[in-house]
Amino acid sequence: MLGSPRLPLQPTRVEPCAGPGQPPPLAPPPPQRTPRRPPRSRVPRRVQLPPPLCPPTLSG
């Protein structure tokens, strides 16, 4: 941070480039693992998944 020209030369600048590509993919995985557990207590989320999977069950 002391040398402004060193930032662009250093890998620190790569963060912004890989930021939009790496952060997104890394963030989604963790949230998906946590929501999977909460869904059990949350009926609205659990019910939304079954209907699309087997609509005949609800209709029958």
* pLDDT (0 to 100) of residue 4: 55
What is the per-residue pLDDT across 24-48, written as a single tens digit (0 to 9) for each? 445 555 555 555 555 555 555 545 5
Contact 13, 7 (CB under 8 A): yes
- The pLDDT assigned to 6 comes to 52
Reported pTM: 0.09
User: Between the CA atoms of 46, 50, 53 and 59, what dihedral angle is there, to the nearest 10 degrees?
Assistant: -150
- pLDDT given for residue 37 in this prediction: 56
DSSP assigned state of 12: G
Which of helix, strand or coil describes residue 4?
Answer: coil
In the three-class reduction of DSSP (H, G, I as helix; E, B as strand; rest coil), residue 3 is classed as: coil
3-state secondary structure of 22: coil
pLDDT band at 9 (very low <50, low <70, confident <90, very high): low
What does each C-alpha distance from 47 to 5, 16, 32, 56 come to in angstroms?
54, 39, 17, 14
The residue-averaged pLDDT of 2-8 equals 54
